[in-house]
Amino acid sequence: MRRALFLDRDGVLNVDISPYVPDLASFEVFPYTLDALKMFHEAGFEFYVVSNQQGVSLGITPAGELDKMSQRLQEIVRPHGFEFRRFYYATDLDEADHPWRKPKPGMILQAVEDFGISLEGALLIGDKWSDIVAAEAAGIPGYLVYSGVSSSRADWEGRCHPAGEFSNLLEAAHALAIA
């Protein structure tokens, strides 16, 4: 049985743009993303994206462009024999207090319900304190990467307790993708 790997998107799989990645033309996948995902796949993980995408509600990122970015990620990995099981996006504004919006664990819990996932051996990799808090709330370890918004401990210290810290997804794969 494969283990669940929950991945934030912007800053983990692709370059984050301030304030939001607006369209497919601006969507740049990190050069190491495929290699990292291959390592995790070979170690028995399956992939779920859990990403706050408030830019949709703000009118910066059209929903259709968000779908195109998801399709692009699938196009990158499918030729290698795996795919993302599902993309979960919290598109509501922060002040809407939606249960899916991280730091709440709603997207993770929805994936558990949708796919009958066991959280035993599951983990999350994100680039913000809110990712780690969502993982903690779901009862799984959350690992922080510094390839996105967080660039130092000062960005998150006191808000969360990451299970580990890595410079990027590839470094995390080398440490965590143990078959």
Residues annotated as part of the active site? 8, 10
Whether omega for the bond prior to residue 31 falls within 30 degrees of 0, making it cis, is no
Residue 60 · residue 20 · CB < 8 Å = yes
Region class of 3: left (phi > 0), else alpha (psi between -120 and 50), else beta: beta
Give the type of residue at 178. Answer: I
List residues bridging with 45 in a β-sheet.
3
Residue reference for tokens 């997207």: 107
First to last CA, the chain: 12
List residues bridging with 142 in a β-sheet.
124
Distance CA 100, CA 48 (A): 14
